[in-house]
Chain A
Amino acid sequence: MTTMQINGVEIEDTFAEAFTMRGARVVITAANAKWARQAAVTMTGFATSVIGCKVEAGIEREIAAEDTPDGRPGISVLMFTMDSAGLQQRLIERIGQCVLTCPTTAIYDGLPQLPDRLPAGKALRVFGDGFQASKMIGGIRYWRLPVMEGECLVEETFGRASAVGGGNFLILADNAAAALAGAEAAVDAMAGAPGVALPFPGGIVRSGSKVGAKRYKSLVASTNDAFDPTLRPITTTDLPDGINSTMEIVLDGLDADSISAAMAKGIPAACVKGVIRISAGNYGGKLGPHHFYLQKIVRGKTA
């Protein structure tokens, strides 16, 4: 067991265990940044965990107008599911219901270099009821969907990445305010990290879960009692003495390196006054193929 500390906060010699997912990047543009963000916020709503939402999604970053296909302000959204068919369906639903409906928006693929393509835009074209039209520009097909406002432009296909979901770290603190402050600082430090989304509210999870349940056998997930300070005397706890609150940061990424790079920023930032230890959730390495060793990452090495 190797000891490591940042600002007096122990970085536990453990690892986060993550899973292979399927990911897509959707670039939304609009007449101004306000409407681009509104579409992205709507699209990433109710998308915290595949356990209950079928998709995990988050805003990746804002994109300057000069860097978008149509020269308008943009924002990129990352979406993650457990399989390709699910990703195609979620893209159709969320672009169709949340972005197509949003004033002035257009929708582009953010992973044009990937050979695996999901034809979500092609599926959405039928909203045009036969009045839709397509245009090939630079080898990319776009669909022009007539809408009451005027016209919505959507790219025909979206790149599908073999992605990583469930990267995480836990912030163990001596009080709830310190745990939250550490988590907020970590989220701020990771803001705009390329290829990474933090799908939970404000990027933070207070209700980390374990696989299954002890009492209710039909449950897919239930409270992570090992890290719940209120249950310390009546369960097998992983909390050291003096811990009164735990927060979790969950990271989904287009690849493992993106998650490692974000964690390398987030973990040191989380080491604020009142935080005692940084830990991570894993299943002993038996379930997920991606392992993010906290101390290695902090030292600047990849997982």
Chain B
Amino acid sequence: MSETVTLTLRAPLAEVVGAESIAADRLAMLGNREIAALPVWVGTRRVPLGEIFKVDGEKADRVRVAGDLARVDGLGAGMGGGTLVIDGSAGRDIGVGLRGGTIDVRGDVGDGAGVAMAGGQLRIAGRAGDRLGAALPGASRGMVGGEIVVRGDVGRDAGHRARRGLIVIGGNAGPGAARDMIAGTVLVQGNAGPGAGAWSKRGSVIALGAITVPVTYSHACTYRPTVVRVLLRYIRRQYAFPVDDRFVSGLYSRYVGDLADVGRGEILQWQTQ
């Protein structure tokens, strides 16, 4: 047993590698040789993990993956516990179906991060691609629990069909954030692209920057929602996420919608005055 299992990429990748087998709770049960024998996919070829990664340590629920991982997909898929640290950028579908534990990415991630996740924390220091925390193709529900915190910008459709959970976006959000959202919260510190909150049923969009409120939302009032204070102070404390006091104590315009659907969702837009 060691404190950390470290997986180091042996050589730069020419092809995409599917590494859904790399999850902290799975590796916590395995010895060094068993870890090296886990399957990963290089294109359509199934190869042992040890061919792609040098494996140091065993039976630890803290796993560190090092190297240029931009072509490694599916890291932490379905993980149920432990800590997975990605020392750099990662590919697509990181943390898909995450159920528990923490995935800490020190760089950028591709599309589909946190899709259909149900619990745990996905922390991304850089940017994320499209469909952050969204639904699997054809699925009726996106993420149903857990928390995603991205420091940078994200692509389109973040939180699409999310049923529960929290998505925090430190930069700008592409078009369609919180589109078709069933419930849950998407916080955008930068600017939100067009179509944010469209067709939302009970979801909350908290916009600290610019947002174009869909015409199917209706202005309710301007007030200081206590729940936003609690949320912003929580992400400051839990994620060391920088949030200015003016957002914590500020006034917010509440728009109710999407009135073309259930109409129990909201957009809370921070007011400069």
Which A positions have Cβ atoms within 8 angstroms of B?
Answer: 29, 69-72, 106, 133, 135-138, 142, 144, 150-153
One of B46-54, B85-93, B228-236 at the interface: B228-236
B118 to chain A, nearest CB (A): 12
Subset of 7 A-B contacts with CB under 8 Å: A71-B229, A72-B229, A106-B226, A133-B264, A136-B145, A144-B225, A151-B226
Chain B residue with the shortest CB-CB distance to A72: B229
Taking a contact as CB atoms under 8 Å apart, the answer to whether A153 and B223 are in contact is no
Chain B residues near A136 (CB-CB < 8 A): 145, 164-166
Question: 8 Å CB contacts to A: which residues of B182-238?
Answer: 185, 202, 204, 221, 223-227, 229-231, 233-234, 238
Taking a contact as CB atoms under 8 Å apart, the answer to whether B231 and A135 are in contact is yes
- A70 CA / B248 CA spacing, docked (Å): 9
Contact with A70, one of B166, B223, B233 (Cβ below 8 angstroms):
B233
B2: interface (CB < 8 Å):
no
Greatest chain A CB density within 10 A among B202, B229, B264 is at B229
- A136 CA / B164 CA spacing, docked (Å): 8
- A69 CA / B238 CA spacing, docked (Å): 13
- A164 CA / B262 CA spacing, docked (Å): 49
- Starting from the known contacts A70-B226, A71-B248, A135-B204, 20 additional A-B residue pairs (CB-CB under 8 Å) come to A29-B226, A69-B230, A69-B233, A69-B234, A70-B229, A71-B249, A133-B202, A135-B227, A135-B231, A136-B145, A136-B166, A137-B230, A137-B231, A138-B234, A150-B221, A150-B225, A151-B225, A151-B227, A152-B226, A153-B226
Chain B residues near A72 (CB-CB < 8 A): 229
- A136 CA / B230 CA spacing, docked (Å): 11
B183 to chain A, nearest CB (A): 9
Greatest chain B CB density within 10 A among A29, A137, A152, A153 is at A137
- A89 CA / B237 CA spacing, docked (Å): 33
- A150 CA / B222 CA spacing, docked (Å): 9
Interface SS of chain B: mixed
Chain B residue with the shortest CB-CB distance to A29: B226
Interface SS of chain A: strand
Taking a contact as CB atoms under 8 Å apart, the answer to whether A71 and B223 are in contact is no
Greatest chain A CB density within 10 A among B166, B233, B248 is at B233
B269 to chain A, nearest CB (A): 16
- A133 CA / B201 CA spacing, docked (Å): 12
Greatest chain A CB density within 10 A among B145, B185, B231, B238 is at B231
A108 to chain B, nearest CB (A): 9
Taking a contact as CB atoms under 8 Å apart, the answer to whether B230 and A153 are in contact is yes
Question: 8 Å CB contacts to A: which residues of B125-139?
Answer: none
Chain B residues near A29 (CB-CB < 8 A): 226
B150 to chain A, nearest CB (A): 18
Chain B residues near A137 (CB-CB < 8 A): 166, 227, 230-231, 234
Taking a contact as CB atoms under 8 Å apart, the answer to whether B224 and A150 are in contact is yes
- A137 CA / B233 CA spacing, docked (Å): 10
Chain B residues near A70 (CB-CB < 8 A): 226, 229-230, 233
B162 to chain A, nearest CB (A): 12
- A153 CA / B234 CA spacing, docked (Å): 15
Contact with B227, one of A71, A138, A153 (Cβ below 8 angstroms):
A153
Chain B residues near A135 (CB-CB < 8 A): 185, 204, 227, 231
- A106 CA / B248 CA spacing, docked (Å): 15
Chain B residue with the shortest CB-CB distance to A154: B226
- A70 CA / B233 CA spacing, docked (Å): 7
Chain A residues near B185 (CB-CB < 8 A): 135
Chain B residues near A150 (CB-CB < 8 A): 221, 223-225
- A29 CA / B230 CA spacing, docked (Å): 12
Chain A residues near B166 (CB-CB < 8 A): 136-137
- A72 CA / B233 CA spacing, docked (Å): 11
- A70 CA / B227 CA spacing, docked (Å): 8
Chain A residues near B234 (CB-CB < 8 A): 69, 137-138
Taking a contact as CB atoms under 8 Å apart, the answer to whether B223 and A151 are in contact is yes
Ranked nearest first, the 8 interchain pairs of A and B with the lowest CB-CB distance are A70-B229, A153-B226, A150-B223, A106-B226, A138-B234, A70-B230, A69-B230, A137-B234
- A85 CA / B225 CA spacing, docked (Å): 32
A281 to chain B, nearest CB (A): 43
Question: 8 Å CB contacts to A: which residues of B13-59?
Answer: none
Chain A residues near B233 (CB-CB < 8 A): 69-71
B257 to chain A, nearest CB (A): 14
Question: 8 Å CB contacts to A: which residues of B51-109?
Answer: none
Chain A residue with the shortest CB-CB distance to B265: A133
Do A142 and B230 form a contact, CB below 8 Å, given A71-B248, A135-B204?
yes
Chain A residues near B225 (CB-CB < 8 A): 144, 150-151
Chain A residues near B202 (CB-CB < 8 A): 133
- A106 CA / B231 CA spacing, docked (Å): 14
Chain A residue with the shortest CB-CB distance to B233: A71
